[in-house]
Amino acid sequence: MLPLLRERGLVTYRIGVIGGDGIGPEVIAEALKVVDATGIAYEPVTYDLGGTRYLATGEVLSDETIEGLRSMDAILLGAIGTPDVPPGVLERGLLLRLRFELDLFVNLRPFLAPAGPLNDGVDMIVIRENTEGTYLGEGGFLRKGTPQEVATQGSLNTRFGVERCIRYAFELAESRPRKHLTLVHKTNVLTFAGDLWQRTFDAVATEFPSVTTGYDHVDAACIHFVQRPERYDVIVTDNLFGDILTDLGGAIAGGIGRAASGNLNPSRTGPSLFEPVHGSAPDIAGTGAADPRAAILCAGMLLEFLGETKAAQRVASAVNESDDVLGSTAEIGSRIAERV
């Protein structure tokens, strides 16, 4: 309904924009340049968040900011992280907190690459559960700082959380030409969590008779990613395995400069958040060497999720056909924007 209303000039999307740190703001500026070029009516609402702001103000993410972000139609994020902030502060306090608060339970990462020396090409989407597993923060220390120190870090898996993620993956697989979904886990060793995932997968599969299914252990999947990625169409996996597998996916398909991701709330009770897989790259920040393609692809995914399919396809094609475009961050952004 939104696109129809928009065509009649009745809707202007409100897009929350979090540039963040390092190259984050640089690549997001180019992504917005490309969104401008599509002619979509939108209002960017800028949020100053990240390590730089934390060091200046001591604040990571206020409740007020979360409520502001919650009222957006979608959110575009660059990267968060500065070398002077201790590990965990921004990851837990900002990135993970946004995923939990906005219930962004699906992390979607597409991988596309032509055939190369190692394999016959890649065209797959990884669906990573984004709010549970080992990343929920269950665990703690006993006798911290002593020789008898104990640390535990649990993996929390709920039937509800696993099922809604798996159902989204089946729906996505059903919408693609190959209609194939692979569960990736380590069911032979993680016999509790793995069992819940496998049973849930098998149960939901009965609702999608047109989708063919497969299963791979995560370690085997790492080999297949490199040597036989064509065996995959859609993959569904848990939070930790998904984090690692998608970095590997980025490495086999176009590199870190092209890896885009969506943190989705498929029930649409709030905005979804789109961000490049790469970080703030402090080593190249300010030099104009950052590749903005991942951020631009994120903007395309954002448009797609809003239902602006035509604009999204124009953005994706412009990026996928930009191998000849060289230059600084801003030059690449401008050239891609011209082609949209």
* Active site residues per annotation: 135, 186, 219, 243, 247
By CB under 6 A, is residue 95 in contact with ligand NAI? yes
Query: In angstroms, what is the minimal distance from the CB of 244 to Mg ion?
Result: 7
Judged by CB under 5 A, the stretch of 112-120, 240-248, 253-261, 288-296 that binds Mg ion is 240-248
Q: Which is nearer to ligand NAI, 81 or 254 (CB)?
A: 81
Which of residues 32, 80, 106, 302 is near ligand NAI by CB under 6 A?
80
Contact characters 259-278, ligand NAI, x per CB under 6 A = ----------------x--x
Contact characters 39-78, ligand NAI, x per CB under 6 A = ----------------------------------------
Residue 263 CA to its chain's centroid (Å): 5
Which of residues 38, 280, 298, 300 is near ligand NAI by CB under 6 A?
280
- Residues of span 220-259 touching ligand NAI by CB under 6 A: 256-257
By CB under 5 A, is residue 91 in contact with Mg ion? no
Query: In angstroms, what is the minimal distance from the CB of 22 to ligand NAI?
Result: 7
What DSSP assignment string belongs to 262-273?
EEE-TT-SS-EE
> In the block, which residue shows the tokens 């399919």?
309
By CB under 5 A, is residue 243 in contact with Mg ion? yes
Which of residues 127, 166, 169, 290 is near ligand NAI by CB under 6 A?
290
Query: In angstroms, what is the minimal distance from the CB of 257 to ligand NAI?
Result: 4
238 binds, among Mg ion, ligand NAI, none (CB under 5 to 8 A by kind): none
Which of residues 18, 211, 221, 281 is near ligand NAI by CB under 6 A?
281
Sign of the dihedral defined by the CA atoms of residues 305, 307, 313, 314, in that order: negative
Q: Cα–Cα distances in Å, from 41 out to 11, 15, 49, 143, 164?
A: 7, 10, 25, 56, 32
Q: Which is nearer to Mg ion, 33 or 128 (CB)?
A: 128
How many chain residues interact with ligand NAI (CB under 6 A)? Answer: 19
81 binds, among ligand NAI, Mg ion, none (CB under 5 to 8 A by kind): ligand NAI
**H or E, element range at 178:** none
> In the block, which residue shows the tokens 């897989």?
277
Task: Tell me how far apart the alpha carbons of residues 18 and 25 are, in angstroms, rounded to a whole number.
Answer: 8
- Which of 161, 144, 140 lies closest to 239, judged by CA? 161
Neighbouring residues of 267: CB distance < 8 A, sequence distance ≥ 6: 103, 164
Q: Cα–Cα distances in Å, from 202 out to 44, 163, 181, 207?
A: 42, 10, 11, 10
> In the block, which residue shows the tokens 């692979």?
182
Burial bucket for residue 169 (CB in 10 Å: 0-12, 13-18, 19+): buried
By CB under 6 A, is residue 79 in contact with ligand NAI? yes
Give SS3 for 19.
strand
Burial bucket for residue 5 (CB in 10 Å: 0-12, 13-18, 19+): exposed
Tokens of 63: 């409740």
Interface with Mg ion (CB under 5 A): 243
Interface with ligand NAI (CB under 6 A): 23, 27, 79-81, 95, 256-257, 275, 278-284, 290-291, 294
